[in-house]
Each structure stands twice: as C-alpha cells, then as structure tokens.
C-alpha cells in the first residue's frame, strides 16, 4: 500500500469522518440509573414569559438519568412557593424532592426568577435562589437553575449550561455539499454556524476558556488549521504546512496547540506556540502519529500511533522525551482524551470491525468498555467528568450519544433531519 493511501486510511480509521445534515435535537434516554430519585418540577407561575423555565429544567434533569421526573398530570397541586405546599400530598405520590418557582415580568424585557428546591419528607427547603434575566437569556437561566439543583442533589457539578460543537454537512444540489461547524447549547438548542465551506471542515476543539474553537478546514483545497473567536467571528489561520495539518488540541493554559503535521515526511505530533507560531516536533516515528490530547496538568500528551502495526495509544512528555505505549488490550485503540481530573482516559476501542467507547483507569491501566458499538467514535468528556459525548452510527444515519463514566446511563441525541459528527463538549 502506498504511503498516501496508508495515511488516508489511518485518518479514516482514527475518526475523521464527515457528517451530513442538521435539524432540531431530541434526546432519548435509552438507559437510566436504576436508583433514579423521584423529583417533581412544578410548573412555575409565570407572567407571559417567552420561555417555559420549568419545562427546560425538567428536560435537563430528566436527560441526566439521575432523576425520575413526575408527569405534570399526576401532580396533586400547582404551588409556586413553599408556603403553598402541602407536603403530605406530595409524600403520598412518592416524591422525594420538588421544585417550585415563579417568573415575574419586571418590565423592559427583564424577568425576575425565583425557585425553591424542597425536601418532601423533611418538609423543608434545601435551596432557594433568585435571579434576573433578559428575555434572550431565559433558556440560559433555566440551564443554570438545572445546574444548581443537580449539584445540590448529587454533589456533582451540572453541565446543562455548557455548549457543544459539532460538524454537519448539507446537500446544496448539483452534488455539492456545504459543511458547517456549529455550536449549540448542551441540549441542542440555539445552534449557530461558526464556519461554513463547500470543502470539508473537521476536528473542532475548544480553548480552555471556551471563547475560541480550533478546527481543520480544506476551504483552500489543502488542509489548514484555524482558530476562531466565537464572540467576534475573528479567525486566524495558524497552520498550513505542506501535507497534513490536523487534529488540533489546546494546551490547558491556552497558549499552545498540539497538532499533527507531515511537513517533514510521516505524520508526527508537534506543538505550536500560538504567540510566535513556532512549532516543536515531539514524535519522530516513521509511522503515523496523530490525535494528540493534553493531560489536565499539561505535562503529557496522549496520541494515536500505528507504530506497533495497529493503532494504539501512546504517551509523551509535552516538552519532549520518551514515548510510552499505554494500551495493549484490543487491536485498535484511538482518539484518546483525558478526563478533567486526569484519572481516566476515554478512547475508541476496537476489535475487528466493532468500535466502542471505552475508558482506561490511568492508575491501574484497566479498560472498561462503556458502549455497544459497532460504530462509535469521537468521544469527548463533559466538564464535570461524569458524562462522555460521542458520535455513533446506525446504517448510514449518524447521531450523537452520551454515556456516563460508569456506563450505567445512556442517551441518544437525535437530529431529526440529518446527521452530525465529531462532537466536542466545551470546558
């Protein structure tokens, strides 16, 4: 097999797949936590707010898998404050916790929101909060409420206020396609197109502060890496060397990008200083080294290499040094990414033509397979480390899925009229 064909094959195997289509997102919980806690989100009293706050909160907490949400038609009453709650009625319908609240029009396009999280069996308040929101930010405020409730009841930070980036492709006729890099809320709402091209876009990666996205574009007919500021749309082409320019990954301090370049021959891992644009070569293999991922402390970079004959995960100090192989189980391990605490490494784990999402415990080096495959790819940790977002495929239909770190909770995120690939969860 020629070198060029081999490079292209490895790029495909390592997860550089191209998506198509975009539409509204619906989320199906395919498997939840067995010990899901009963929770009622009572419809908030509202003075014509343009967003149903309680409905957004209910949907957020339901898709977490940690809670068994109460249907509105089964609620014994509709209180909007703790003073209106008859706790015995809610105990009788088996609820552990409930949330009540109000949204009041404050004029001038502003709304005052207040809510209370109540312990039904202790008949008391666990959390109370007030905030003011503009009409445009009401969904964001609802996600913030979900985060507060989730953290109070689970002890883990919520991720409902976060964002995701992903790649889609739509058909434009005459066999031409338009590729989009899009950013949306974690629940799929408020999608925005960040970049669009008739040539492929791929490999979105968030900066640590969530203000920028690096990605690969072929808009100039060759691969180049861009960094784009989301607030202004300003972007800079930071790497366009001869050959492959791919797989950008931000350093934890946001000053450097690890990336794959083939400017010196075979694809290797380099580090690009974003201020000086100087590049430092970390790996020096005649094989294909790609898909770098920084450890949270910035001391090491995990990457994929076929130097042993099959794609496996290796580790190299970010300043350069000895390269060590991490994975030995399975004939395919690729697209690694560290958990926020550095204790786990998520990857695509394969045997034959079966590709699943797996997690390696960095202390024991044991691997736990989380998903059922057979076409799972592009895993990305949530900022709280409890969930993993990934791309999957059924037949020719691509979609996003999420799985908890222990594999007990599964979600399927379906774009109603299309496919989506290469998800990346914002920090």
pLDDT digits (tens, 9 = 90+) for 337-380: 999 999 999 999 999 889 999 999 999 999 999 999 899 999 99
pLDDT tier for residue 419 given thresholds of 50, 70 and 90: low
Angle at 183 between CA 177 and CA 55, to 5 degrees: 120
pLDDT tier for residue 65 given thresholds of 50, 70 and 90: confident
Is the pLDDT score of 72 beyond 70? yes
Instruction: Report the percent of the chain where pLDDT is more than 90.
Output: 75
Among the residue ranges 86-90, 148-152, 191-195, 312-316, the one predicted with the least confidence is 191-195
pLDDT number for residue 249: 98
Is 36-154 a CATH 3.40.50.10070 domain?
A: yes
Q: Domain-by-domain residue ranges, the chain?
A: 3-18+163-425, 36-154
pLDDT tier for residue 392 given thresholds of 50, 70 and 90: confident
Q: What is the mean pLDDT of residues 174-186?
A: 86
pLDDT tens, position by position, 111-131: 999 999 999 999 999 999 999
pLDDT number for residue 420: 80
Is the pLDDT score of 277 beyond 70? yes
Q: pTM (2 decimals)?
A: 0.87
Q: Which class is 3-18+163-425 in CATH? A: mainly beta
Is the pLDDT score of 16 beyond 50? no
pLDDT number for residue 176: 79
pLDDT number for residue 31: 59
- Spatial separation of the C-alpha atoms in residues 415 and 398, rounded to whole Å: 9
pLDDT number for residue 399: 82
Is the pLDDT score of 33 beyond 90? no
pLDDT number for residue 81: 96
Mean residue pLDDT of the chain comes to: 89
pLDDT number for residue 27: 52
Q: What is the mean pLDDT of residues 1-29?
A: 38
pLDDT tier for residue 36 given thresholds of 50, 70 and 90: confident
pLDDT tens, position by position, 196-244: 999 999 999 999 999 999 999 999 999 999 999 999 999 999 999 999 9
Q: What is the mean pLDDT of residues 23-32?
A: 52
Is the pLDDT score of 307 beyond 60? yes
Please give the residue that has the higher pLDDT: either 3 or 283: 283
Among the residue ranges 173-182, 260-269, 304-313, the one predicted with the least confidence is 173-182
Is the pLDDT score of 19 beyond 70? no
pLDDT number for residue 188: 83
Among the residue ranges 259-263, 311-315, 357-361, 417-421, the one predicted with the least confidence is 417-421
pLDDT number for residue 169: 79
pLDDT number for residue 415: 61
Is the pLDDT score of 297 beyond 80? yes
């Amino acid at each position: 097999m020629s070198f060029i064909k081999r490079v292209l094959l490895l790029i495909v195997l390592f997860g550089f797949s191209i998506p198509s289509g975009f539409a509204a997102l619906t989320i199906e919980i395919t498997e939840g936590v067995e010990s899901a806690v009963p929770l009622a989100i009572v419809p908030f009293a509202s003075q014509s707010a343009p967003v149903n706050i309680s409905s957004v909160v209910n949907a957020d907490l339901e898709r977490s898998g940690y809670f068994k949400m109460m249907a509105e038609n089964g609620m014994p009453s509709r209180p909007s404050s703790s003073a209106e709650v008859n706790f015995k009625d809610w105990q009788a319908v088996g609820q552990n916790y409930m949330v009540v609240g109000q949204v009041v029009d404050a004029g001038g396009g502003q709304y005052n929101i207040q809510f209370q999280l109540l312990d039904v069996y202790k008949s008391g308040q666990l959390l109370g909060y007030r905030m003011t929101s503009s009409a445009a930010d009401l969904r964001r405020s609802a996600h913030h409420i979900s985060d507060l409730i989730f953290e109070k009841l689970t002890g883990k930070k919520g991720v409902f206020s976060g964002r995701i980036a992903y790649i889609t492709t739509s058909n434009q006729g005459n066999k031409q396609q338009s590729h989009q890099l899009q950013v949306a809320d974690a629940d799929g709402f408020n999608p925005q197109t960040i970049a669009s091209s008739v040539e492929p876009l791929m490999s979105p990666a968030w900066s640590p502060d969530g203000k920028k996205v690096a990605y690969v574009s072929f808009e100039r007919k060759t691969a180049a890496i861009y960094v784009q500021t989301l607030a202004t749309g300003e972007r800079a082409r930071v790497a366009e060397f001869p050959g492959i320019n791919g797989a950008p990954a931000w350093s934890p301090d946001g000053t450097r990008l690890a990336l794959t370049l083939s400017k010196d021959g075979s694809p290797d891992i380099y580090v690009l200083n974003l201020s000086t644009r100087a590049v430092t070569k970390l790996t020096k293999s005649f094989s294909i080294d790609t898909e770098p991922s920084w450890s949270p402390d910035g001391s090491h970079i995990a990457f994929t290499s076929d130097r042993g004959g099959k794609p496996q995960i290796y580790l190299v100090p970010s300043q350069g040094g000895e390269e060590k192989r991490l994975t030995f189980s399975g004939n395919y391990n690729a697209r690694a990414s560290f958990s926020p605490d550095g204790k786990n490494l998520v990857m695509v784990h394969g045997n034959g033509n079966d590709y699943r999402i797996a997690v390696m415990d960095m202390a024991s080096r044991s691997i736990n397979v989380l998903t059922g495959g057979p076409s799972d790819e592009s895993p990305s940790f949530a900022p709280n480390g409890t969930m993993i977002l990934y791309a999957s495929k059924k037949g020719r239909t691509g979609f996003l899925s999420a799985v908890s770190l222990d594999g007990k909770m599964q979600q399927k995120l379906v774009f109603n009229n299309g496919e989506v690939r290469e998800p990346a969860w914002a920090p």
